[in-house]
Amino acid sequence: MSKQIPSVPSAPAALGPYSAVAEANGFIFFSGQVALDPATNDRLTGLDVADQTKQVMNNIVAILGDLGLTTDAVVKTTIFLKDINDYAAVNEVYGAHFGESPPARSAVEVANLPGGFLVEIELIALRS
């Protein structure tokens, strides 16, 4: 199977030359999601990290829905944090979206995130 770029109307517009998602061999790779309002593409950088994470997770759930999937399809996530001290606040919001079988995950502090965001989450999902 070659790479496909599925239609995901719920995704905020890309801020650069990339696709929101790409699919190959049943795996769906999400570009890093930040706190963008998908209706207006406004950057929600004025929100605290918990509210930014809520927006990111809402966007992820909506994009998964466009693909006919739920968070149960997510096999791996990576969380990028501007400040590792925000880990607990992000973890609380993030954890509410996954049931008894959460995906594998990495969480790292980074020197900076584009656009002044506090959190970015990328993921890999699997069609079964």
- Tens of pLDDT along the chain (128 residues)? 689 999 999 999 888 899 999 999 999 999 999 999 999 999 999 999 999 999 999 999 999 999 999 999 999 999 999 999 999 999 999 999 998 899 999 999 999 999 999 999 999 999 98
pLDDT given for residue 119 in this prediction: 98
pLDDT given for residue 88 in this prediction: 98
42: left (phi over 0), alpha (psi -120 to 50) or beta: beta
pLDDT given for residue 29 in this prediction: 98
Superfamily of domain 21-126: RutC-like (3.30.1330.40)
Alpha-carbon dihedral of residues 62, 125, 33, 51, nearest 10 degrees? 60
CA distances from 41 to 33, 44, 101 (A): 12, 9, 32
